[in-house]
């Protein structure tokens, strides 16, 4: 867990173009309809020359690929994600998401009018557009090549030259521009390491990174930032990756075909609702517990204070004592036992692997939802350095995520599987939480600004668990509420592994408590509900970690807002008791009973449950919620 930004700065939205655009030209562009030769039209496309001419605009044109409507053999027009059969004036409205595929003799010209850009690619590449999350990332894919393109805005920073450099340096090029990062992960730059030019694309500043990510299925990466000259508020971000260097050679043609222009319409996403899919291989206890989560209208609670070490850890007995003392104390204050017992385990610490805490999980968890013991929440993070990811760390910058994809840790994962199977009871398995951040070893910045690698890692581990017959893991997908970096490419859904790989949505939204007023529990989690209910509303949700702080020492007197924290906690229980509609998907939550410290040992965020008035609020809150 780390804190996320709370500041919100209104960014200036400028209209701009890399090429001169006559905004007075009607959609038809003044082009006379022309006859089309007989061609085989794929499903969803049309060749009506009148409709093509009506939908074409001069601002879409590129002389080297498709320069006018007469160059178009057939096309697809998508309105709010659905192909329209031909031109219909009523469909062109500001509230609609307008996207086009113009297919010519040798090129496809894609246009996102809602985002304000267009580019071309050779039709021989056989790319298929993915319209699942086009607002976040418009993707085009074949088995050996992938293009991802997004329109990004510089926020929350002020859009000027200085802050543009801060934004891109902090959240885009921090690692891909770092020679240590590239070499320590076994990669290499190919061609020129970094190209920074105002000549490659007229009217634009273009920065390109060329990386050979050896060992991946598509190892040749071209990563480009394209910013129209004269403004600093928005830019186009392109990631192209290929199975071989010959295919990545198409990047120059793609880049030089890019046009950026003023937007018309409203960009949207189209991920369908995700259904709760019980794993057919679960054992009877796990299947019954998952059904309990789906059905229950109460809120299970747990507290994280210390991680449980594996049986081979030299600190096993010390941690057993600490966990026991803290758990017994808080349960006595609350007047009730935990229903969820959380722990964190990393892939390892540098060269030493960590293992499943079998003995302590049996001792402190062992629940199945019905036997009166807490159910284990096992957070597993692919890191070997305790997520030591920061702008100040420029040398210890390798991530084991690439090694996972190269099969380096498969035998270790199989050992982990055997230990989890031996435990036997249901496990809430939370893999790589808060991936949409800038502080974890598996965040997008650490994986070549490519969220698809996170998905590949998730599926790789999931498949190993399936092969090894693990029948007691319920998988939790857990982004943090406010994505950091502020971006489209790194938004939470860009990391989603897919409905068949996830059974629970995890939620995390902290109130660090270092300034007043405190955002209420309701404001935090009604936000989570509003942003996720349309897609994940049928799944069970767990607030896998959360807290409200009482004030850290680095920003004032320590625990200065303990009274406000206590009020926040009691108001939270009032929300649980009222059980408004926004809480219906939530089945449980875990308080993060640990502080954040700076390098000198001073508390940055004081989240630990030490204030007497806050503990009293917990006691009274449980009595209120359960009528005790």
Q: Rounded CA gap, 244 and 214, in Å?
A: 11
**pLDDT-derived band of residue 559, with 50, 70 and 90 as boundaries?**
very high
Structure tokens of 545? Answer: 């970690």
Question: Where in 337-484 does DSSP place strands (E)?
Answer: 340-346, 348-349, 352-353, 375-381, 427-431, 473-477
Q: How many angstroms separate the first and last alpha carbons of the chain?
A: 33
Quick check: 508 pLDDT over 90?
A: yes
How many residues make up the chain in this entry? 628
> Peptide bond before 311: cis, by omega within 30 degrees of 0?
no
Q: What is the pLDDT of residue 213?
A: 98
**Has residue 25 been placed in a domain?**
no
Q: What is the pLDDT of residue 84?
A: 96
Beta-bridge mates of residue 343: 378
Q: Rounded CA gap, 363 and 265, in Å?
A: 57
pLDDT in tens, 567-603: 999 999 999 999 999 999 999 999 999 999 998 999 9
**Has residue 275 been placed in a domain?**
no
Q: What is the pLDDT of residue 500?
A: 97
Cβ-in-10-Å burial (0-12, 13-18, 19+) of 627 comes to: exposed
Same domain, 248 and 312: no
**pLDDT-derived band of residue 40, with 50, 70 and 90 as boundaries?**
confident
Same domain, 396 and 360: yes
Same domain, 201 and 316: no
The average confidence (pLDDT) of the chain is 93
**Has residue 428 been placed in a domain?**
yes
Quick check: 264 pLDDT over 60?
A: yes
Nearest to 496 by CA among 274, 217, 346: 274
For residue 241, give the DSSP letter. Answer: E
Q: What is the pLDDT of residue 38?
A: 62
Contact present, 593 and 304 (Cβ < 8 Å): yes
Q: Rounded CA gap, 28 and 17, in Å?
A: 19
**Has residue 612 been placed in a domain?**
yes
**Has residue 40 been placed in a domain?**
no
Quick check: 28 pLDDT over 60?
A: no
Quick check: 20 pLDDT over 80?
A: no
Same domain, 102 and 156: yes
Contact present, 276 and 501 (Cβ < 8 Å): no
Helix (H) or strand (E) holding 604: strand 603-605
Q: What is the pLDDT of residue 429?
A: 98
Nearest to 212 by CA among 233, 185, 180: 185
Domain of 89, CATH number, reads 3.40.1000.10
For residue 46, give the DSSP letter. Answer: B
Contact present, 541 and 504 (Cβ < 8 Å): yes
Quick check: 15 pLDDT over 80?
A: no
Quick check: 2 pLDDT over 80?
A: no
Same domain, 162 and 240: yes
pTM of the model: 0.93
Nearest to 586 by CA among 533, 534, 623: 533
Quick check: 627 pLDDT over 90?
A: no
Task: Count the domains in the chain.
Answer: 2
**pLDDT-derived band of residue 191, with 50, 70 and 90 as boundaries?**
confident
pLDDT in tens, 236-253: 999 999 999 999 999 999
Quick check: 383 pLDDT over 60?
A: yes
Q: In what order do the strands lie in the sheet with 427-431?
A: 300-304, 586-592, 541-546, 504-508, 473-477, 427-431, 375-381, 340-346
pLDDT in tens, 430-441: 999 999 999 999
Its domain, for residue 113, covers 49-260
Close Cβ partners of 544 (under 8 Å, ≥ 6 residues apart)? 342, 377, 379, 428, 430, 433, 476, 478, 506, 507, 508, 589, 590
Alpha helix ranges (H) inside 262-338: 284-295, 316-334
Domain of 433, CATH number, reads 3.20.20.80
Q: Rounded CA gap, 474 and 36, in Å?
A: 55
**Has residue 279 been placed in a domain?**
no
Residue with tokens 């990545």: 248
Quick check: 22 pLDDT over 60?
A: no
Q: Rounded CA gap, 201 and 204, in Å?
A: 6
Same domain, 611 and 557: yes
Same domain, 291 and 246: no
% of the chain residues with pLDDT over 90: 91
Same domain, 254 and 288: no
Alpha helix ranges (H) inside 242-357: 245-248, 251-256, 284-295, 316-334
Same domain, 427 and 359: yes
**Has residue 189 been placed in a domain?**
yes
Q: What is the pLDDT of residue 626?
A: 86
Q: What is the pLDDT of residue 628?
A: 61
Q: What is the pLDDT of residue 27?
A: 39
Same domain, 242 and 303: no
Same domain, 448 and 306: yes
pLDDT in tens, 509-524: 999 999 999 999 999 9
pLDDT in tens, 201-260: 999 999 999 999 999 999 999 999 999 999 999 999 999 999 999 999 999 999 999 999
Structure tokens of 276? Answer: 């709760």
Mean pLDDT over 139-148 rounds to: 98
Q: Rounded CA gap, 451 and 362, in Å?
A: 35
Nearest to 14 by CA among 259, 162, 230: 230
Same domain, 485 and 389: yes
Quick check: 544 pLDDT over 50?
A: yes
Q: What is the pLDDT of residue 139?
A: 98
**Has residue 350 been placed in a domain?**
yes
Q: What is the pLDDT of residue 123?
A: 96
Nearest to 264 by CA among 138, 95, 59: 95
């Amino acid at each position: 867990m780390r804190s996320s930004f709370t500041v919100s700065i209104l960014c200036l939205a400028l209209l701009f173009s890399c090429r001169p655009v006559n905004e007075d030209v009607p959609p038809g562009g003044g082009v006379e309809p022309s006859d089309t030769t007989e061609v085989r039209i794929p499903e969803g496309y049309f060749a009506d020359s009148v409709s093509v001419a009506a939908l074409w605009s001069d601002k879409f044109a590129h002389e080297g690929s498709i320069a006018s409507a007469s160059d178009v053999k057939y096309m697809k027009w998508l309105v709010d994600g659905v192909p329209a059969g031909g031109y219909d004036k009523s469909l062109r409205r500001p509230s609609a998401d307008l996207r086009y595929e113009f297919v010519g003799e040798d090129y496809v010209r894609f246009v996102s009018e809602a985002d304000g850009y267009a580019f071309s690619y050779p039709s021989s590449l056989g790319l298929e557009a993915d319209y699942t999350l086009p607002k976040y990332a418009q993707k085009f894919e074949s088995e050996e090549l992938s293009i991802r393109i997004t329109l990004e805005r510089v926020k929350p920073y002020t859009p000027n030259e200085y802050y543009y450099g801060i934004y891109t340096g902090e959240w885009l090029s921090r690692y891909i521009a770092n020679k240590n990062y590239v070499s320590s992960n076994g990669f290499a730059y190919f061609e020129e390491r970094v190209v920074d030019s105002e000549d490659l694309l007229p009217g634009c500043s273009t920065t390109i990174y060329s990386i050979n990510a050896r060992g991946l299925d598509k190892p040749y990466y071209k990563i480009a930032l394209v910013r129209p000259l004269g403004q600093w508020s928005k830019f186009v971000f392109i990631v192209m990756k290929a199975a071989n260097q010959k295919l990545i050679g198409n990047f120059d043609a793609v880049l030089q075909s890019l046009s950026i222009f003023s937007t018309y319409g409203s960009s949207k996403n189209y991920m369908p609702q995700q259904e709760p899919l019980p794993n057919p291989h679960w054992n009877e206890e796990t299947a019954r517990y998952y059904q309990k989560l789906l059905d229950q209208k109460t809120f299970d609670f747990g507290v994280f204070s210390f991680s449980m070490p594996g049986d081979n850890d030299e600190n096993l007995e010390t941690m057993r004592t600490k966990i026991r003392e803290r758990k017994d104390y808080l349960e006595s204050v609350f007047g009730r036992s935990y229903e969820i017992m959380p722990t964190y385990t990393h892939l390892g610490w540098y060269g030493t692997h960590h293992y499943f805490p079998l003995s302590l999980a049996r001792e402190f968890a062992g629940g199945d939802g019905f036997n009166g013991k807490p159910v284990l929440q096992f957070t597993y993070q692919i890191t070997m350095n305790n997520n030591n990811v920061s702008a100040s760390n420029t040398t210890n910058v390798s991530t084991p995520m690439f090694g996972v994809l190269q099969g380096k840790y498969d035998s270790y994962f199989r050992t982990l599987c055997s230990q989890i199977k031996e435990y036997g009871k249901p496990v809430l398995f939370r893999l790589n939480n808060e991936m949409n951040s800038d502080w974890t070893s598996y965040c997008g910045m650490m994986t070549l600004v490519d969220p698809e690698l996170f998905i590949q890692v998730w599926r790789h581990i999931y498949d190993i668990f399936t092969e090894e017959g693990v029948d007691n893991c319920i998988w939790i997908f857990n982004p943090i509420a406010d994505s950091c970096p502020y971006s489209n490419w790194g938004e939470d859904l860009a990391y989603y592994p897919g409905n068949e790989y996830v059974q629970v949505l995890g939620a995390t939204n902290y109130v660090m408590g270092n300034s007043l007023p405190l955002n209420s529990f309701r404001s935090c989690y009604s936000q989570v509900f509003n942003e996720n209910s349309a897609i994940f509303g049928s799944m069970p949700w767990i607030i896998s970690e959360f807290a409200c702080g009482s004030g850290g020492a680095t920003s004032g007197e320590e625990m200065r807002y303990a009274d406000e924290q206590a009020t926040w906690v009691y108001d939270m229980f009032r929300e649980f008791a009222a059980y408004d509609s926004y809480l219906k998907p939530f089945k449980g939550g875990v308080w993060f009973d640990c502080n954040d410290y700076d390098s000198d040992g001073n508390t940055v965020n004081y989240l630990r449950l030490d204030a007497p008035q806050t503990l009293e609020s917990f006691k009274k809150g449980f009595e209120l919620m359960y009528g005790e």
